[in-house]
Structure 1
Amino acid sequence: MAPRSNAVFLAIIAAMAALLAILSVPSLIAALIAFPSGEDLERLRRGAPPPPFDLTRAAERNMIAAGVFESARYRANAASALLALPPAERRRTGVDVEDVVRASLRAAPAQTYNWSRLAALRLAAGDRPGAMRAWQMSVLTSRYEPGLMLGRINLALALLPTTDRTMIDLTSDQIRLAAEADIRGLAKAAYTTGTAPYVSAVLWRDTTRMPLFLRYYRDHIWAAQHPDEAKALRK
């Protein structure tokens, strides 16, 4: 390589290195801002939510981080923390959690959990068609998501009845997957939503899981009718 060509090449490399360094600064700052919320978010993922004050602080840190460096992950973390808050505490934050979820999805449309969150928010707002569309997107972006399985089943069953063929097919598929992964949880979801006949219609040919489903479903009925005895058995 000629000296001049070599100098040009080195200049290009130096410019690229400088550009990467500049671009990495906001990313690093955002990561440092969000870092203290990591433990609280991990507790939330493990099913042991921290106190509302800590959840609010985690949401705030991640929203600030998202403002410094546009990251769908930070907005998704903020949405997760906000949705774990009691409704009154969530309102006090002044943040529209649906706006946060939608902003995160615009940045990263394949976020299965955020589509499920949007479905729950739309259902709570009384928008069943919107809830169905968001729920379907959650399933289409990831058919099998162990940590989300029962949450999605509960949402789907709450959206019944429906004549939407895609919704019916996807719901039936998710019921079969849930029957394999957590038949007890499926029975509880069917009991809670009053959809045992629908779930039974999906599983009736499954000679292994159908009897288990009915057994666990009857357990929930018995527990509801005999709360004191059920409570004693759980001790």
Structure 2
Amino acid sequence: MAEASILFLRACLTLLALPIYLLSFVGIWQPFCKKVVFPFFLERLSVVHERKAKKHKQELFHNLSDFRSPSGELKLLEIGTGFGANFQFYPPGCKVTCTDINPNFQQGLSKNMNKNQHVHYERFLVAAGEDLHQVPSGSVDAVVCTLVLCSVHNVNDTLKEVLRVLRPGGAFYFLEHVAAEPSSWNYFWQQVCYPTWKLVFCGCCLTREIWKNLKQSKFSEVKLQHISISLPWTPIKPHIVGYAVK
């Protein structure tokens, strides 16, 4: 019965979003989404999410300085920087390399760079999480990834790249929305919205169990919490937050 309801509601959503599906079919939607739609919605959703997630991020990043290299420097790589919402939480003097698969965030990113002069910005790379070949192996002390693993093509390949670029003893910091409990209404609506949501929001997957990927990875230690951050009118509520040590 639940599966039939999910399929019926998915069909209804597909009809509502039919113009987008047609634009996608002829190859117009993806470039338009990447350049206009996704940055527009992300900037507005980020305002709400950052307000609700601020306390969790303060707690998450409070020990970033502990992972400075023996020389005293903290070299940080952020995957999927977006508009730079995390800059405010980074310790003074840290050297940040920003990466994002979408170059259309750079204007908003510049605004946050100007607001956070305590951080030294080294460079911006257009790169996917699964392919960070422009970053040398073992060259960074910390990697940060927030609300990004939901949309990478392959979570495990991204984690392998994180492990490659981290120096021994370095840390990977994450905060990601994940699948809800299978018996919950939240999970039901995640299943309903999944295909259309993924299309509209440039590959964002609602039902990934990212905590399993982290626990199966080759990090020496994973510290992870399940938390709730609710975004109005969306099926995004369950999150994981924590860090993993190489």
TM-score, normalised on structure 2? Answer: 0.26
Which structure is higher in strand share? 2
Larger Rg: 1
